[in-house]
Amino acid sequence: MNESPESINSDPMKLRPATPADREGIVALIDSCLKEYGDAAFLEGTEADLVDIDAHYEPDSFMVLADRDEVVGTVALYYDKNDRSVVTLRRMYLHSSLRGTGIAVRMMDWALNKAVELGAKRMELWTDTQFKRAQSFYKNLGFIEAGEIRAIDNGAIPFEEFKFYRDL
pTM above 0.75, yes or no: yes
Distance, in Å, from the CA atom of 145 to the CA atom of 38, rounded to the nearest integer, reads: 24
Q: What is the pLDDT of residues 28-77, one digit of tens each?
A: 999 999 999 888 888 888 889 999 999 999 999 999 999 988 999 999 99
CA trace torsion 48, 99, 58, 161 (10° rounding): 50
Distance, in Å, from the CA atom of 34 to the CA atom of 36, rounded to the nearest integer, reads: 5
Domain boundaries in the chain? 5-167
Res. 3: pLDDT tops 60: no
Identify whether the C-beta of residue 4 lies closer than 8 Å to the C-beta of residue 110.
yes
Identify whether the C-beta of residue 160 lies closer than 8 Å to the C-beta of residue 150.
yes
Q: Does domain 5-167 have CATH number 3.40.640.10?
A: no
For 129, other C-beta atoms within 10 Å of its C-beta total 12
